[in-house]
């Protein structure tokens, strides 16, 4: 199973149908990206 591909599919689905929980998850992932990049 390719986790990276699955993650990208999840991202696409979240962008199409953004529930409150998906928005929270996306925000958390963005904060994690910033944390790891900095």
What pLDDT is recorded for position 13?
A: 75
Mean pLDDT of 11-31: 73
Domain that residue 21 falls in: 7-37
- The predicted model scores a pTM of 0.30
- For residues 3-13, give the mean pLDDT: 73
Average pLDDT, the chain: 70
**11 in a structural domain:** yes
Tokens of 20: 């409150």
Total number of domains in the chain? 1
Question: 2 in a domain, yes or no?
Answer: no
User: Would you say residue 19 lies in a domain?
Assistant: yes
User: Is 27 among the domain residues?
Assistant: yes
Report d(CA 19, CA 24) in Å as an integer: 9
Residue 28, domain member (yes or no)? yes
Measured between alpha carbons, how far is 16 from 7 in angstroms, rounded to an integer? 14
1 assigned to some structural domain: no
Confidence of residue 18 (pLDDT cuts 50, 70, 90): low
Q: How confident is the model over 4-20, as a mean pLDDT?
A: 72
């Amino acid at each position: 199973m390719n986790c990276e591909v699955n993650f990208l599919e999840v991202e696409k689905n979240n962008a199409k149908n953004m529930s409150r929980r998906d928005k929270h998850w996306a925000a958390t992932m963005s904060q994690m990206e910033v944390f790891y990049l900095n």
